[in-house]
Structure 1
Amino acid sequence: MARRSAGFVSKKAHRKSRGGCLTCKRKKVKCDEAQPACGYCCLRSWDCQYIQDSALASKSPPSDSTSSHTTPLSDTSNVEEVDFNNTSIQIPTWLVPAACASTGQLTLLDHELLHHYRTSTWKAFAARKDAVVQKLHRDFVPQSSLSNPYLLYALLSIAASHSNALSPSKQIEKQALVYRHKTFQEYSKALQNITAENYESVLVTGTFLLALIPPPAENATDEEHLDWMFSLLKMSEGLRVLASLRWAQGIEKLTIYPLICRELRALPPPPTIHGKDDASLCTPVGPLGTTPNHPNPAPTYPHQYPLSSPLFLPQPLMALLKTLVNPASTGRIDLDRQTLTPVFHALSPIFLSLYYYHLNQDFYVRIFAFTSFLMPDFLQLVKQREPRALTLVAWWFALANLVPNGWWVGQCVRGVVGAIGGVIRAQEVDGGSDGCSSRGNEIVIEAFERAERIVETFQTYSGEDAAMSIYEEWVGVSWDEGPKKAEEWEFGQLLDLGALDPVGFEMAGVGISAQS
């Protein structure tokens, strides 16, 4: 048989895959470029991601002739220099290298959402924006999330929800739900094994869970608003329990302490409206770090001692408190008095901070810290829809509405306060509740309607107008006088510490004399 000569055998030219998916590029295998997922990724059930650059994604063969609309790659005269240290710049996804976390390899969407969290999302819900908190949210928290899946999924879910709120996307909305489900799944496991190594990540995740509770829709019923409200309070209770594990054992030394502290400054004493003769209308005396007057850990108060001062509450709330501490001699015994009274004490410093420093970061921090003073017995009253407990919650929501960073709450404040009003007014028609006389019911209604008016003022005008309206009918208190009195008090503190020479200070042209 004649043998064939071993001549040259031509082969079909191999077409290089320039529009392949990122997985195939990393694996250095030929990609069939099938959409939406290539065959290589489909066979292995992998996430298939394509470069979104239109020039790279185009499959049309290049033209031999140079079009007038084509810019040579070597021409860099019109290319603007990019500062890659500027976090406001959206870095193309194909420039992001593959990274691994405790959950596995991060997808391009994970990278984008983490970037969105670092540059935008945290600003939308954080009560503070100082340099320390900024560094925690931009660096420490995202880095910690890579080794703690519950924290990673929490960040991704919050960032996805925020991104979807800014630019609605069904895909992002669906992914936010997936991340949220994984957050609670992993967080439940972590709570069963809290260690010194994971305590900070568990605690900071607890602060994010409030934003993961899906708010009611715009057309939600009163029941849905009340259910959401109670879920929010119950989630806050879990955070309080977590923080209590180390509150008196050096929690202020933790890196994340600035995210969980309960006040930013010591407040001047309240203006003299009523004396200290009635101890029931004064703040309780307790160990530092345990009362609303001194809410931070004891070591953060090196020069202070627990003292009592008159409560600082608007007239409607003060009238409601007096029905508790000075009950009528006749009628049923109020079994809820001991449960309700501490909540008035927790509200007092919030009004004081707002009065002296107006809308400031200390006020915002105290708003978020308020729920840490709500005990299980009080939450049970809220669940039972006790009118006075609901009224106090309505006041907190009205005040929380003044905090600018609450995108995840949306229009829920108005819906919740409206739902509370429906319950309170319905109970008034039905004849009141345990512990409330006819006059007591009227006082509850008056206190609630005052909170309702604050929400309406906010909706109609602005947060500043709503804050001012709190002090309009407050006898002996002027909104404009607050900051001036705070300056005088701070000046007096400096004199007491010997930090200033009053004579030299006055000669320097400052309009505060030693006598004042």
Structure 2
Amino acid sequence: MPEEFGDSITTTPNEKPYHAKRPHRKSRSGCRNCKARKVKCDEGRPACRSCTVRNETCVYMAAVSKRTSQEPAPTLALAHRQCTAAAVPLQPLFIPSGRDELDMRLLWFYTTATYASFSTSLRQRDVEVVLKVHVVQHAFANPFLMDCLLGLSAMHINHLGLHNMGVSRTHEIYYRAKAFETYRRAVEAADPATFPALLAASLLLCGLSTHVFRGEDARSLSILDWMVIWRGIGTIAELTKLPQLARPGLAQLLIRPDVDLVASSQFVPSHLLFMVTSIRDGDPDVPLVKGYYNALQVLGSLYLELSKGISELLLLRIATFFTFLPSQFIDAARQKRPRALVILAHYLVFAMLRYANCWWMDGIGRHEIPNICQLLGPEWDHLLRVPRAALLLDNDRDVARLLLDDPCWDMPTKPEDKSPTAQQERELVIRAAMENEMADDMEVHKQSKILFEVP
């Protein structure tokens, strides 16, 4: 027996070996499960190793501190938390009253990765500080905005498949439903003090509402309702046109790239232009000609931008497309007028560009183009050739060539920049979270073998 263990074990001929307890510090802030089992807790956050191995929900007792009788102790709201939380790369150290660890984990993920869904590196729309700082400050004062942040973050985490973050599909649904409900109440209350937060929430809801294009929530022609949500940003902007929007910089969230209608008109595909110019007297769409033509000019701005290459400016144009459309066209589309739906189908091809779109736009084009084609039927097939063909493509270059009708088009090359961009840094954080998830799974597997393997 090694010498260093000689003093810890003593034996006599007539007595069983006695194992002396080694000096150790008792854990007074361990989790409830470890206390119940009377074992030492390593106090890992958000979940200790023992609970992680046993696939149990790890709950810590609130820290006891001296306080006045008027100052209530903070509570841990876990009524709707029923899933295991494994370790995350980073986490907030401060938990405000009324919030729990999952809320803070989601908020951390928003400020680390999700906020970028509405940000670009364009100088004319540098809103990173607004999204990461000002919006979060308003969120702590306005629960409906906080619900939007947390719901969007939960949706993003599940989209990426980061199961180790402890965010289930049930959590995502809970936060999303709560966000829409509290936002509706705030709009009805119309309290001027909440106007800046309402403006930010109206933008975030455009991303949060895209669940209707994917998975179990997918519904046919949800694009028609999504247009209205985008148009709602303009409505909220009109209602909240107050000086306090400019002070915290929230007005920057409304910045859109200008559309040169004259130049954009030159890039409208000829078959779409003919679809509108061929409308004759007696056609039910005669009163809608102006609305159709204006919509084609906005669509032409996408073609014009694409001809210069796939860029963040193109992303911004695709994302803000609906905010430029005239209300006459929105009404026609919601009435399912065929020409309006044909124009929407061509827009949805741009939404299929992977590089130029953010995560919450994934799948919108592939979901809705078949729905539009099915609704319109064979009579309109000749005007839907491009959207149908796009469904067979799986890379941006081929989609761009199809849109521009140029089989030789290629993405312009740019000078190599070896310094990491903000987007690359965010991707590293997400990758680290995914690698951490794999490491956790391996550790659980090894611990399971230790617990159950027969020697």
TM-score (norm 1): 0.58
Query: 2-side partners of 1:55 and 1:219: how far apart?
Result: 34
Aligned to 1:117: 110
Aligned to 1:52: 47
Aligned residues of 2:348 and 2:364 also touching (Cα < 8 A): no
1:295-306 pair list within 5 angstroms: none
Q: Tell me, yes or no, if structure 1 residue 367 matches structure 2 residue 323.
A: no
Aligned to 1:91: 90
Aligned to 2:146: 152
Question: 1:399: how far off?
Answer: 0.7
Aligned to 1:281: none
Aligned residues of 2:292 and 2:329 also touching (Cα < 8 A): yes
Given residue 366 of structure 1, which amino acid in structure 2 is its aligned partner? Answer: R
Given residue 97 of structure 1, which amino acid in structure 2 is its aligned partner? Answer: F
Cα gap change, 1:450 to 1:92, in 2 (>3 Å): closer
Aligned to 1:199: 195
Aligned residues of 1:99 and 1:106 also touching (Cα < 8 A): yes
1:243-322 pair list within 5 angstroms: 243-245=237-239, 255-263=249-257, 292-293=259-260, 308-309=262-263, 311-315=265-269, 318-322=270-274
Q: Tell me the matched-pair count.
A: 347
Aligned to 1:450: 386
Aligned to 1:395: 346
Cα gap change, 1:372 to 1:252, in 2 (>3 Å): farther
Q: CA RMSD in A?
A: 4.0
Aligned residues of 1:312 and 1:351 also touching (Cα < 8 A): no
Q: Secondary structure at the match of 2:220?
A: helix
Match for residue 28 of structure 2 among 18, 26, 36: 18
Query: 2-side partners of 1:360 and 1:415: how far apart?
Result: 24
Aligned residues of 1:225 and 1:419 also touching (Cα < 8 A): yes
Given residue 423 of structure 1, which amino acid in structure 2 is its aligned partner? Answer: L
Q: Tell me, yes or no, if structure 1 residue 174 matches structure 2 residue 170.
A: yes
Question: 1:368: how far off?
Answer: 1.4
Given residue 267 of structure 2, which amino acid in structure 1 is its aligned partner? Answer: L
Query: 2-side partners of 1:395 and 1:251: how far apart?
Result: 35
Query: 2-side partners of 1:197 and 1:332: how far apart?
Result: 46
Cα gap change, 1:182 to 1:416, in 2 (>3 Å): same
TM-score (norm 2): 0.65
Query: 2-side partners of 1:153 and 1:54: how far apart?
Result: 30
Q: Larger relative CO (CA 8 A, sep 6+): 1 or 2?
A: 2
Cα gap change, 1:310 to 1:128, in 2 (>3 Å): closer
Q: Tell me, yes or no, if structure 1 residue 188 matches structure 2 residue 195.
A: no
Question: 1:242: how far off?
Answer: 1.5
Aligned residues of 2:346 and 2:387 also touching (Cα < 8 A): yes
Question: 1:310: how far off?
Answer: 6.6
Q: Secondary structure at the match of 1:99?
A: coil
Query: 2-side partners of 1:414 and 1:51: how far apart?
Result: 38
Match for residue 235 of structure 2 among 237, 241, 244: 241
Question: 1:248: how far off?
Answer: 11
1:323-334 pair list within 5 angstroms: 323-328=275-280, 334=286
Aligned to 1:3: none
Query: 1-side partners of 2:344 and 2:274: how far apart?
Result: 18
User: For structure 2, which runs of at least 5 residues remain unmatched after alignment?
Assistant: 1-24, 39-43, 54-87, 415-455
Aligned to 1:423: 375
Instruction: Render the CA deviation track for 1:35-63: whole Å, top value 9, x for unaligned.
Output: 9xxxxxxxxxxxxx9862237999xxxxx
Question: 1:250: how far off?
Answer: 10
Aligned to 2:403: 470
Query: 2-side partners of 1:337 and 1:129: how far apart?
Result: 37
Question: 1:188: how far off?
Answer: 1.3
Aligned to 2:435: none
Question: 1:350: how far off?
Answer: 1.8
Aligned to 2:120: 128
Given residue 113 of structure 1, which amino acid in structure 2 is its aligned partner? Answer: L
Question: 1:313: how far off?
Answer: 2.9
Given residue 18 of structure 1, which amino acid in structure 2 is its aligned partner? Answer: R
Pick the structure with greater CA Rg: 1
Cα gap change, 1:135 to 1:331, in 2 (>3 Å): closer
Q: Which has the higher helix share?
A: 2
Cα gap change, 1:232 to 1:332, in 2 (>3 Å): closer
Q: Identity across aligned pairs (percent)?
A: 21
Given residue 111 of structure 2, which amino acid in structure 1 is its aligned partner? Answer: R
1:377-388 pair list within 5 angstroms: 377-388=328-339
Query: 2-side partners of 1:397 and 1:450: how far apart?
Result: 11
Query: 1-side partners of 2:375 and 2:314: how far apart?
Result: 29
